[in-house]
Structure 1
Amino acid sequence: MSSPAITVRTPRDIIDYVNDHPTGTGRTRLLAIIALGGVFVDAYDFTSLGLGIGSLTKQWGLGAVRVGLLTSVMAFGALVGALVGGPLVDRLGRYKIFILDLILFVVAAVAAGLSPNYGFLVVCRFFLGVGVGIDMPASFSFVAEFTNRRRKGNFVNFWQAMWYIAVCAAAAIALPIFLGAGAANLWRWLVGLGAVPALVVLLLRLRFTEESPMWAAHNLGLGEAARILESSYHVSVDVQPAAGDGADHGAEAAWRRTKELFTSHYRRRTALASIISGTQAAQYFAVGFYIPTVAAVLFGDDLTDTILATLIINLFGIVGGVLQSLVTGRLGMRLLAGIGYVLIIVCTVSLAFGSDSISVWISTGLVALFVLGQSFGPGPQGKTMAALSYPTRLRGTGTGWAESMSRVGSILGFYIFPLLLASVGLAGTMGWLTIIPAVGLLAVLLIKWNPLTAEVEDEPQEAITR
């Protein structure tokens, strides 16, 4: 190898090398994108059901309660997956978990597309959610532990652009299927095809990824961590272990890790990550999942127009997701979240008080601005704040906790929007939804924590005595 050898004596030496490496390599950038492929899979599936729910409802004669259960059961599964998966990621490693969860997703997606009845589909959707919930703490921990300190926020925050690329891809796939085969089995095609990107990401992970060097240093020993470092960064590593710096093999109990998130040392950052994660999910899943429904209200019942409007509106999400990932290091996550919350409040208030008097195109523009504000601000920070706020030994648990709060928010959003829309109309719904970003904005103003300027790996483990 052309690079000079580095000497590794403790796990901290591995962590310092990853954090201080100037730019990383093409391989590490590829690994980050592959790791975030799970986000693409999640977003595609989320959008596919939103676009296909109309045809599914007609085909099986579903009422509001059964539709509500079907649209929210994946979020329940993701909640379970995140709570269980976070501690598992810290105990068993990032690599094993994000391989196993994608296998589960591929099988469940194919089974869902072939569902013979409503009950079978609900079960498949639940297991899809479990796979997604487990993948998030694994993927975000992996990216945070393969990228340098200066660009961690940029790399991890790129997940938001991946999300909206997948949303637009789902809409682009739905249009030719609808035009060619009609609406009758649109949902089967869209949901079943979710196995394709999941399989592609799975194969890429099997081919190119390996364990996080940071996690390996703490749990697999310096020798294995050095091997991963050599493979990923193309450097020669000389291991000279200091006494007492062997692997601890993740022996700490899961409940102790979770409890530590709420000790005095971590309480404020856990609260901030939880509030951002929960509020961004509630507002997005209330409006984002129902963008096809909103488009139908604005443009009429023509499915072609609905799909096109969904595609165009979500293009603003790609713009916001890319822009914020480029400026994360300069502006910081709290400021980005605050800007996004303000934009969302402007949109919801405008739609609440002006939807009856403004044109369809202005209303559509406000929904697009909502998506832009979400993707630029609180959307990405909901996951990234947690991924960067904890040391390696707690990162999976902390990210899993924040992800579970996101799923609680998404469950509320799934239920709140259709109930409000049916009772108070689009204007009233947007008025009530304004409360959600207002709570998030208040949190980012009051809780002053910035993981981009903190050295979380230096923090001592707290004793949990209660």
Structure 2
Amino acid sequence: MNDSSTTAAVRPVVRTAADVARLVADRPRPSKGAAAVVILALGGIFMDAYDFSSIAFGITEIRRQFGLDALMTGVVNAAIMVGSVVGASVGGVLVDRLGRYRLFMADMVFFVVAAIGCALAPDEWWLIFFRFIMGIGVGLDLPVAMAFLAEFSSLRGKGNRSQRVNAWSPAWYAATGFGYLVVLIAFLALPESGQPLLWRIVVGFGAVPALVVLLVRRRFLKESPQWLANQGDLRGAVDILRSAYDIDAELAPDAVTARRTTPTANWKAFARLWSPTYRIRTIVALCVSVFSTFGYNAVAYGTPLIISTLFQQGPLITIGSSLVINLLFGVGGGLVGVALVSKAGARRLALVGFALQAAALLILAVVGIPTGPLIAVAVGMLALFIFAQAGGPGAQLMSYATLSYPTSLRGTGVGFNEAVKRVFSVISLFFFPILAGALQSGVFWIIAIFPMLGVLALLVFRWDPVGVDTDAEEYRSQA
């Protein structure tokens, strides 16, 4: 037998959508084409994080400039979360209906317009409006970004989908740290008279990387082959297997090119999340998301407020501490999560992370308003909290929301999880400035309740999505 006949004999043949999903899941090593799509997906997450956190340091100045009371400060804080609830609710379904590529191309426009609008806002109402628009962009982006991370990765081995989904966490903290770096540079460069413009510069700068990501996506982004196969476009799926995965697949003459009838392209998809197959998975994903959200929003977004107001430190220490906490401990914790998730699993990492967070918050509550050496202890506990979040529940909430569902339901699952999570984010961002003003450091006693609830939930529900081939599950159930 000559070489050409040998090659033809071993070429994978695609007859159904299940064949496409299997070829992606079983691929032994990552490919350059798929890695480029993953990088672009992480670029979107980078923008999500930057826009969420860019206003955190400036909220005190915004409050002074616009004469806001605690209530209106909470509204400004929460506006982006309200927008993300709308974006995630709609975006999750649209990702499954229209495809990953179209939504990915659209959401960056929201970031560019909203960043410029926030920077130029003449009063608090315009700022609230553009923060809301920015939130819609974030809500649209996360379901499609997570779908790309999962669907352009193999099930096991180097660069597997659990690791790539977890990579959203260090990307998020790198963006948050980058935001504080921009704050630091602008703070040092501006004269004292220009300090009131600091928050506008930082927020408006977000339009620059968003525009870059938008332009690069137009050139390099590809549609998910699993999604195309589910729509009956096996030819398009095979083409992407060749270009993005280096899989020289062949479309069989008798290939099944009919669009699958699974009800995921409409609002009935939400009902599937609560079907017997996915009900426990949906509950666990919501528990991890909701219980990690309260603490994260209070500590991460509130870090500048905590350090400047509760710890009574100046602006330079506030910026520097926030920068180090996010870049060193946030990114570091996220990378630990990426390294360990394949072996330890999402459930174990989330359990350990919740426990460490509860301990850090209880110590902060006991310390109270720190003085002398206790300042270092208090800042260290903030760093421990972020480290535990980045590698624990903060990373694993996306593992649960993304990997618990097959391709046909993944966008809806992530979107629903994000929408519910953001509702609780709105509550936490709205009430944290009020509670911090009323209770001072006593607010940490309240925040500590939520990671404790996270530990309890994971002890009750033992579902772990790592290494589970959800697409194969679905195809077997329909065979």
Matched-pair contact (CA < 8 Å) for 1:336–1:376: yes
Could you say if the C-alpha distance between residues 241 and 336 of structure 1 is closer, same or farther in structure 2, counting changes exceeding 3 Å? farther
Matched-pair contact (CA < 8 Å) for 1:35–1:205: no
Report Cα offsets for 1:240-276 as digits up to 9, x if no partner: 1546542248875522110110112111000000111
Could you say if the C-alpha distance between residues 6 and 354 of structure 1 is closer, same or farther in structure 2, counting changes exceeding 3 Å? same
Return the offset for 1:420: 1.9
Which letter maps to 2:354?
Y
Matched-pair contact (CA < 8 Å) for 1:222–1:246: no
Structure 2 residue ranges without an equivalent (≥5): none
Aligned pair 1:456/2:470, yes or no?
yes
Could you say if the C-alpha distance between residues 8 and 431 of structure 1 is closer, same or farther in structure 2, counting changes exceeding 3 Å? same
What residue is the counterpart of 1:372 in the other structure?
387
Matched ranges for 1:204-283 at <5 A: 204-240=216-252, 242=254, 244-248=256-260, 252-283=264-295
Return the offset for 1:26: 2.2
Matched ranges for 1:18-97 at <5 A: 18-97=24-103
Aligned pair 1:438/2:452, yes or no?
yes
Report Cα offsets for 1:402-422 as digits up to 9, x if no partner: 111221221122123222212
Matched-pair contact (CA < 8 Å) for 1:347–1:367: yes
State the aligned residue count: 462
Q: TM-score, normalised to structure 2's length?
A: 0.92
Which letter maps to 2:86?
V
Matched ranges for 1:40-189 at <5 A: 40-150=46-156, 151-181=160-190, 182-189=194-201
Whole-angstrom distance in 2 between the partners of 1:251 and 1:272: 23
Return the offset for 1:299: 5.2
Matched ranges for 1:420-439 at <5 A: 420-426=435-441, 428-439=442-453
What residue is the counterpart of 1:331 in the other structure?
344
Whole-angstrom distance in 1 between the partners of 2:11 and 2:226: 18
Could you say if the C-alpha distance between residues 252 and 323 of structure 1 is closer, same or farther in structure 2, counting changes exceeding 3 Å? closer
Which letter maps to 1:267?
R
What residue is the counterpart of 2:376 in the other structure?
361
Which letter maps to 2:383?
A
Whole-angstrom distance in 1 between the partners of 2:476 and 2:72: 46
Return the offset for 1:112: 1.7
Please give the root-mean-square deviation of Cα atoms over the aligned residues, in Å: 2.1
Matched-pair contact (CA < 8 Å) for 1:282–1:406: no
Return the offset for 1:107: 1.4
Report Cα offsets for 1:45-81 as digits up to 9, x if no partner: 1221001112222222222222111110100000111
What residue is the counterpart of 2:363 in the other structure?
350
What residue is the counterpart of 1:320 in the other structure?
333
Could you say if the C-alpha distance between residues 455 and 441 of structure 1 is closer, same or farther in structure 2, counting changes exceeding 3 Å? same
Whole-angstrom distance in 2 between the partners of 1:453 and 1:393: 18
Whole-angstrom distance in 1 between the partners of 2:261 and 2:99: 10
Structure 1 residue ranges without an equivalent (≥5): none
Which letter maps to 1:459?
E
- Of stretches 2-11 and 434-443 in structure 1, the one that deviates more from structure 2 is 2-11
Whole-angstrom distance in 2 between the partners of 1:319 and 1:454: 26
Whole-angstrom distance in 2 between the partners of 1:407 and 1:241: 47
Could you say if the C-alpha distance between residues 444 and 154 of structure 1 is closer, same or farther in structure 2, counting changes exceeding 3 Å? same
- Percent identical residues: 38
Q: What secondary structure, in the 3-state scheme, does the structure 2 residue paired with 1:50 have?
A: coil
Could you say if the C-alpha distance between residues 442 and 312 of structure 1 is closer, same or farther in structure 2, counting changes exceeding 3 Å? same
Matched-pair contact (CA < 8 Å) for 2:310–2:440: no
Whole-angstrom distance in 2 between the partners of 1:459 and 1:235: 23
Whole-angstrom distance in 1 between the partners of 2:23 and 2:444: 48
Matched ranges for 1:288-327 at <5 A: 288-297=300-309, 300-314=312-326, 315-327=328-340
Report Cα offsets for 1:346-394 as digits up to 9, x if no partner: 1011111233577111111011101111111000111221110101110
Matched-pair contact (CA < 8 Å) for 1:280–1:409: no
Matched-pair contact (CA < 8 Å) for 2:179–2:202: yes
Matched-pair contact (CA < 8 Å) for 1:284–1:413: no
